[in-house]
A and B are shown apart, each in its own frame.
Chain A
Amino acid sequence: MTSDHIRKFFAVFFVLGFFAYLFGPLIIMSLTAFNSSAFPRITPWECFSVEWFEFLANDAKLIEGLQNSIFIGVGVVALAVPLGLSGALMLTQVQARIRPWYYTITIAPILVPGVVLGISTLLFWDRVGTMFGASRDSIFYNGYFLTIVGQATFISAYTMLVFISRLQRFDRVQEEAALDLGATHVQTFKKILLPFLKPAIASAAVLAFLASFENYNTTVFTIVSKSTLTTFLAAKVRYGINPSVSALAVVIVVLTLFGAALHEVLKRRELAAEKESAKIAKGEQATRKAKSRFILDPAVIIIFLVTIAGLGTAYFAGTMGLDECKAEVRAEKQRIVQERVKKREQKTMFQEAGRQALTPGATEEGAKGKPAPGTSNFQGLFSPNNLEEQAGAKQRAQEEDKPRTGTEQFQGIFAPKNLEEQAGGGEGQKQE
């Protein structure tokens, strides 16, 4: 091993560690969605179940939040894409003297904390509303309007950056040619610039929608009395958690994976198309091949089928045999609890025995004198196996012979750990 090898080994180790740090929490969270335990965790594993997904689908508030989020997302796309486009087009046209200032001001919202953006939007439109003497249920106090405007403030800066990078590759000569040939400005914009910007518009729209969809810091101030998916989630996570949040995370992760795969497919197709045009330009190929329809792209179909198959398998595995498994787990838990009860009672008995033992022979007498009744919980104490234990009873009894009240012993059975297992749902509140 040379030092080079060692360095290489460390590099790989470091990178693997980094990826584990990135994905570990997400994987663990995703797994907890499939555990039937009422508290999100993977150990102890109880039953594989998809009931938390069903729980999710029946949550009316979640559905409402989701609808609001989608509505706001669409609104943000409609506002931020034109704003970002005009911002990018304007950048090349402002005087060179003020260009750095212009750029700084338009980029600034990305760096301004979301909290500050939310507050300032809320305050500003409130003041505007008062100036116009608008009523409290007018648009200036409307949560949807405020959220769309507040989010679009910084999302427009994102879209602007997307457009700027695309426009850098734009050849102005095309526009001039169109104008020389007698096209109007609007025609030139529609026929030359917009088609060129089409991929950028698509990716800006996706970016804007996603950024809006997952925004929390700004939304929590501007949404006023309504709720979006993120504010709903925040409330849910803060006040008592259960695995349905993990289930939601799984849905989002799967959608993200799907989106990433789709994006990759689209990118490859675009690259292939560009190569083809280059070939045509060189004259190596006579005409463009018939473009396959998007839906019929084999890669898309495969991704789609795999997703469906995965979901189906998960659903069947998660619903079949769930009840039996749960019953087993419950029985197991009951057994454990009973065992603990027994142990407690044994200890109590030993304590008693220890006291009696102060008068010699009492223990043995007690043991022999009282044959165990069949149903009694004390049964175990006097079973033959326990005789050995009994021998040490005196010593142990002395150890245990600290002053104890009945309630204290009772509490021990329902120690925090037990409670957690029995009513895991309550744990979230406890941790708060």
Chain B
Amino acid sequence: MVRYWQEFFRKNGPPLAFYLLISVACWMLLMIIMPQLFMLDFSFRTNVPPPLWGTEAHGYTLEHYQYMVFGSAQSTDSYNFVDLSVFGRTILTAIFVTLIDVALCYPVAYYLAHVAHGGWSRLMVMALIIPFWVNELLRAFAFKIMFGSTGVINNFLITVGILDQPFDFIRNGVALYSGLSYAYILLMIFPIYNAVESLDKNQIEAARDLGSPWWRIHWRVVIPHAKPGITSGCTMVFMLTAGALAAPQILGGPSSLWFTQIIYQAFNQAGNWARGSAYGIILLTSSLIFVLCMMRIFKVKLGEIAR
């Protein structure tokens, strides 16, 4: 170990070695690891007003995790159905949104990478970047305009004669689901596009020459090659959707709360930081566990993701 550090200092020279060590240490310890550990610690403590933090009264407890499952002691229900159902719906919707995004993006990515040619595909790939840089809030806002009771979609459906009364898309969650699918769709298409593009065209040609139908070419040649891209896209979209705050705040109806909104409420309205952190930990660990399980099932390593 000592020899390693000696070698490190000799190779980089003292000024650079110090710069590297200090900044990496700051980043990893002060910004990544320690805050998470403090949050974990905080989530196990009682909820007392800030002046009492760190005193005797600020002891350890499991109450916030218990609250998530069983609800408050006063309530008559045996489980905390409100929070549990919001949590379950958040995870299920995130999975659903991820699947929709894969279904939408894979054909488009394949088309852009292997069917479209030259300038056109280049232009289209560049055009994809534009919605990506438009603010998440504004994208949600655009959906709110479209799905409003006098929005374009309602007006269109009424003019065509399918509806005779405006349909409340926002209350029914349609606006939220389409807004969420839209919000992170580009984090799905770019990894898949990069993966598919790196596939040698000759492989597809060979499969075709050998008489393989188009669906089998995809199933046996293209998809296996694109697997790391698909997985990385799915991971990103799932994590970001489960942790989204802007779209649910803007597009969510009164009855469709998102789990992050409960965390937000615990922090900003109830002033219960401890419960907020406990819920944050629950969100983080459960979505991480889900992603790791999926990666185990599909046999992809973390290193292949985020390329």
A-to-B contact residues, CB < 8 Å = 7, 11, 14-15, 18-19, 21-26, 28-29, 32, 39-43, 82-83, 86-87, 89-90, 93, 95, 100, 103-117, 119-121, 123-124, 126-127, 130, 149, 152-153, 156, 161, 184-186, 189, 210, 214, 216-217, 220-221, 230, 233-234, 237-238, 241, 245-246, 248-249, 252-253, 256-257, 259-260, 264, 420, 427, 431
Q: Which residues on B sit within 8 Å (CB–CB) of A427? A: 148, 150
**Cβ–Cβ contact A100 & B303, under 8 A:** yes
- Do B108 and A124 touch (CB < 8 A)? no
Task: Answer whether residue B239 sits at the interface, using C-beta atoms and an 8 A cutoff.
Answer: yes
Complexed CA–CA distance, A90 and B26 (Å): 13
Q: Is the interface of A mostly helix, strand, loop or mixed?
A: helix
Chain B stretch 261-307: residues in CB contact (< 8 A) with chain A: 263-264, 267, 273, 276-277, 280-281, 283-284, 287-288, 291, 302-303, 305-307
- Determine the chain B residues whose CB is within 8 A of the CB of A19 once the complex forms: 124, 127
Query: Measured between alpha carbons, how far is A120 from B143 in the docked complex, in Å?
Result: 31
Instruction: Let me know if B96 is at the binding interface, CB within 8 A.
Output: no
Known: A25-B139, A82-B19, A214-B135. 4 other contacts (CB 8 A): A21-B104, A121-B31, A184-B13, A230-B135
Which chain B residue shows the least CB distance to A188? B13
- A431 CB to closest chain B CB (Å) equals 7
Pairwise interchain contact B146-A114, C-beta atoms closer than 8 A: no
B64 at the interface (CB under 8 A from A): no
Q: Is the CB of B280 within 8 A of A119?
A: yes
Chain A residues within an 8 Å CB radius of B149? 431
B199 CB–A CB distance under 8 Å? no
Shortest CB–CB separation between residue A175 and chain B, in angstroms? 10
Set of chain B residues within 8 Å of A117, measured between Cβ atoms: 35
Q: How far is the CA of A313 from the CA of B28 in the complex (A)?
A: 51
A90 touches B130 (CB 8 A): no
Contact B129 A260 (CB under 8 A): yes
Interface centre among B34, B243, B283, B307 (most CB of A within 10 A): B243
In the assembled complex, the CB of B185 is this many whole angstroms from the nearest CB of chain A, namely 7
Q: Does B15 contact A (CB under 8 A)?
A: yes
**Distance to closest chain B CB from A65 (angstroms):** 12
Interchain nearest-CB distance for B240 vs A (Å): 8
- Supposing A15-B108, A111-B236, A431-B148 touch, asked if A233 and B137 sit within 8 A by C-beta, the answer is yes
Cβ of B47 under 8 Å from chain A: no
A185-B303 in contact (CB<8A): no
Known: A19-B127, A83-B27. A112 touches B284 (CB 8 A): yes
26 residue pairs A–B, Cβ–Cβ below 8 Å: A23-B131, A25-B139, A25-B143, A28-B145, A111-B236, A111-B288, A112-B243, A112-B284, A115-B260, A115-B280, A115-B283, A119-B39, A124-B34, A185-B15, A214-B135, A217-B260, A230-B135, A233-B135, A234-B250, A237-B250, A241-B144, A245-B141, A248-B138, A249-B142, A256-B130, A427-B148
From A22, A161, A259, name the one whose CB has the most chain B CB atoms within 10 angstroms. A22
> Given A42-B152, A83-B27, A221 and B38 touching (CB < 8 A)?
no
A-B contact count (CB 8 A): 257
Contact with A along B195-207 (1 / 0, CB 8 A): 0000000000000
Segment touching A, from B4-12, B66-74, B75-83, B218-226: B4-12
Residue of B nearest to A210 (CB): B133
* Nearest chain A CB to B289 CB, angstrom units: 12
Give the residue of A105, A112, A124, A252 whose beta carbon is less than 8 angstroms from that of B138: A252
B44 interfacial by beta-carbon distance below 8 Å: no
Which one, A26, A100, A116, contacts B280 given CB within 8 A? Answer: A116
Closest 5 CB pairs of A and B: A113-B243, A185-B13, A120-B35, A25-B142, A124-B35
A32 / chain B contacts, CB cutoff of 8 Å = 145
Contact A11 B107 (CB under 8 A): yes
Assess whether B92 is interfacial by the CB under 8 Å rule. Answer: no
Q: Is B60 an interface residue (CB 8 A)?
A: no
Complex Cα distance, B10 from A184, in Å, reads 11
Bound CA span A86–B27, Å: 10
- Whether the pair A21, B130 counts as a contact (CB closer than 8 A) is no
* B152 touching A106, Cβ below 8 Å: no
User: Is B115 in contact with chain A by the CB < 8 A criterion?
Assistant: yes
Most chain A CB within 10 A, of B135, B144, B245, B249, is at B135
Report, as a range, how many residues of chain B touch the other chain.
35 or more
Interface centre among B104, B141, B155, B240 (most CB of A within 10 A): B141
Rounded to whole Å, the gap between the CB of B121 and the closest CB of chain A is 10
Q: In the assembled complex, which residues on chain A have CB atoms less than 8 Å from the CB atom of B133?
A: 210, 214, 252, 256, 259
Q: Which residue of B lies closest to A156 (CB)?
A: B27
Render B237-268 as a binary contact track against A, CB cut-off 8 A, 1 for contact. Answer: 00110111110011000000000100110010
Question: Would B20 and A237 count as touching, CB distance under 8 A?
Answer: no
With A29-B145, A241-B141 as known contacts, state yes or no: A43 contacts B155, CB within 8 Å: yes
When the two chains form their complex, are residues B138 and A245 in contact, meaning their CB atoms are under 8 A apart?
yes
Q: CB of B163 within 8 A of chain A? A: no
CA distance A377 to B223 in the complex (A): 73
Q: In the complex the two chains form, what is the Cα distance from A22 to B126 in whole Å?
A: 13
Contacting residues, chain A, for B193 (C-beta < 8 A): none
- On chain B, the residues within 8 Å of A124 by CB distance are 30, 34-35, 38-39
Question: Are the C-beta atoms of A238 and B33 separated by less than 8 Å?
Answer: no
Whether, in the assembled complex, B42 has its beta carbon less than 8 Å from a beta carbon of chain A, the answer is yes
Residue of A24, A217, A249 near B246 (CB, 8 A) is A217
Q: Which residue of B lies closest to A84 (CB)?
A: B27
Q: How far is the CA of A116 from the CA of B245 in the complex (A)?
A: 11
Q: Which residue of B lies closest to A234 (CB)?
A: B137
B281 proximity list for chain A (CB < 8 A): 116
A95 to B116, CA, bound (A): 44
Nearest-neighbor residue (CB-CB) of A41 within chain B: B150
B250 and A238: CB pair below 8 A?
yes
- Taking a contact as CB atoms closer than 8 A, the residue among B124, B140, B267 that contacts A119 in the complex is B267
Residues of B within 8 A of A119 (CB): 39, 263, 267, 273, 276-277, 280
**In the complex, what's the smallest C-beta–C-beta distance from B300 to chain A, in angstroms?**
14
Distance in angstroms from A25 CB to nearest chain B CB is: 4
Bound complex: CA A149 to CA B35 (Å): 11
Closest chain A CB from B160 CB (angstroms): 13
